[in-house]
């Protein structure tokens, strides 16, 4: 019972945050909304008994990338209006959602996943090299972005 | 549902940041589907875990490059409206 309530709560938070990304008037509000969407998806992972994935989602996206986004956008003038038609956005969401429901593809997750036989990270040691390659790709992206910023913008430390 | 919202947001907005946040939301939706495939369908968790890591890596690099492009464009005074980007000259 409590699990189902938590699932509904996490789903509502994720969907409302996702809608708030496109309905807010300022970019910084959209980034705060995407942070809540990341956190809501981490809660959904935890509900599906994937606690390690939930923690990784929190650490990487909420703790790292969302913070990076907010610092970068907040340091610039973000008062530019988004120039969006909310009516068009709501129409498109309603159209896509209605078509999915009519096609009968609305899938709901099961109540429990107690039949999981292997923990999420049990096969992790076999893929260390691939993980290091992904981390290297990530940090190369970070270094590239810092170089671009230093090349064209005077950094104030 | 999340993918529908992301597609709607990408289609209805002109701001570059909001469009790329919509792409990010699509990545989140795909990750949730992958985790459901691992947990609910009793498939091989290792392959699903690697797929999730791949999606996360691409999403992270996309955010990082988004910030770099955003800071560059703001410093040059370039508009973030994608309908005006074709008129920019390098």
Q: Hey, where are the domains in chain B?
A: 2-78
pLDDT at residue A106, as a whole number: 42
Residues A88 and A133 in one domain: no
How many domains in chain A? 2
Q: Look up the domain containing A6 and give its range.
A: 1-107
- The residues, ordered by sequence, that sit 6+ positions from A150 with a Cβ below 8 Å of its Cβ are none
Q: Residue B16: closest CA among chain A residues belongs to which residue?
A: A82
Could you tell me if residue A122 is inside a domain? no
- A73 located within any domain: yes
Please tell me whether residues A95 and A145 are part of one structural domain.
no
Between these two residues, B54 and A120, which has the higher pLDDT value? B54
Which residues neighbour A9 within 8 Å (Cβ) at sequence distance 6 or greater?
A: A43
Q: For position A138, what pLDDT does the model report?
A: 64
- Looking at residue A95, which CATH number applies to its domain? 1.20.120.1200
Residue A12 lies in a domain: yes
CB contact under 8 A, B52 and A53: yes
Do residue A68 and residue A29 come from a single domain?
A: yes
Q: Are residues A65 and A95 in the same domain?
A: yes
Answer yes or no: do A89 and A156 share one domain: no
With contacts defined as CB-CB under 8 Å, which chain B residues touch A41? 28, 31-32
Report the pLDDT value the prediction gives residue A132, as an integer from 0 to 100: 53
Which pLDDT belongs to residue A154? 56
User: Which pLDDT score, from 0 to 100, does residue A113 have?
Assistant: 45
| Whether residues A93 and A134 fall in one domain | no
Interface contact A142, partner B, CB < 8 A? yes
Any B CB within 8 A of A42 CB:
no
Q: How far apart are CA B73 and CA B64, in angstroms?
A: 14
Average pLDDT of every residue of chain B = 79
Q: What are phi and psi of B81, to 5 degrees?
A: -80, 120
Q: What is the pLDDT of residue A129?
A: 53
Q: Are residues A82 and A148 in the same domain?
A: no
| Residue in A67, A43, A104 with CA at minimum distance from that of residue B63 | A67
A61 and A14 assigned to the same domain: yes
- Give the separation between CA B53 and CA B74, rounded to whole angstroms: 31
Annotate A52-121 with DSSP letters as a single string.
HHHHHHIIIIIIIIHHHHHHHHHTS---------HHHHHHHHHHHHHHHHHHT------S--TT--S-TT
Spatial separation of the C-alpha atoms in residues A115 and B47, rounded to whole Å: 18
Please, which pLDDT band fits residue A28 given cuts at 50, 70 and 90? confident
- In total, the C-beta contacts within 8 angstroms joining chain A to chain B are 180
CA neighbor of B60 nearest in space, from A64, A100, A18, A46: A64
- Chain B contact present for A73, CB below 8 A: yes
| Same structural domain, A74 and A146 | no
Task: Name the minimum distance, in Å, from the CA of B85 to any CA of chain A.
Answer: 15
Check CB contact of A104 with chain B, cutoff 8 Å. Answer: no
Chain B nearest CA to A93, separation (Å): 6
- Tell me, yes or no, whether A25 and A88 share the same domain: yes
Q: How far is A5 from chain B (nearest CA, A)?
A: 18
A140 located within any domain: yes
Burial, A115: exposed, middle or buried (Cβ in 10 Å; 0-12, 13-18, 19+)? exposed
In this prediction, residue A41 has a pLDDT band, given cuts at 50, 70 and 90, of confident
Residues A19 and A90 placed together within one structural domain of the fold? yes
Query: Which residues in B43-61 are b (16+ Cβ under 10 Å) and which e?
Result: eebbebbbbbbebbbbbbb
């Amino acid at each position: 019972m409590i699990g189902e309530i938590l699932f509904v709560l996490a789903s509502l938070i994720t969907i409302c945050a996702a809608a708030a990304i496109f309905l807010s008037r300022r970019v910084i509000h959209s980034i705060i909304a995407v942070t809540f969407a990341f956190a809501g998806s981490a809660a959904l992972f935890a509900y599906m008994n994937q606690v390690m994935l939930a923690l990784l989602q929190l650490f990487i996206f909420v703790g790292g990338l969302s913070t990076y986004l907010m610092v970068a956008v907040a340091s610039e003038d973000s008062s530019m209006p988004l120039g969006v038609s909310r009516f068009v956005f709501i129409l498109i969401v309603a159209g896509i959602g209605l078509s999915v429901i009519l096609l009968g593809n609305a899938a709901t997750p099961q109540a429990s996943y107690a039949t999981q036989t292997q923990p999420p990270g049990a096969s992790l040691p076999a893929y260390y090299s691939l993980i290091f390659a992904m981390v290297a790709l990530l940090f190369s992206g970070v270094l590239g972005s810092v170089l671009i910023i230093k090349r064209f913008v005077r950094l104030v430390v | 549902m999340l993918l529908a919202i992301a597609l709607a947001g990408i289609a209805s907005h002109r701001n570059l940041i909001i469009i790329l946040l919509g792409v990010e939301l699509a990545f989140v939706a795909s990750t949730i589907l992958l985790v459901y495939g691992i947990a609910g369908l009793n498939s091989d968790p290792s392959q699903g875990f690697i797929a999730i890591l791949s999606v996360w890596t691409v999403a992270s690099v996309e955010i990082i490059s988004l910030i770099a492009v955003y800071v560059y464009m703001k410093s040059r005074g370039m508009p973030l409206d994608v309908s005006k980007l074709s008129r920019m000259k390098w």
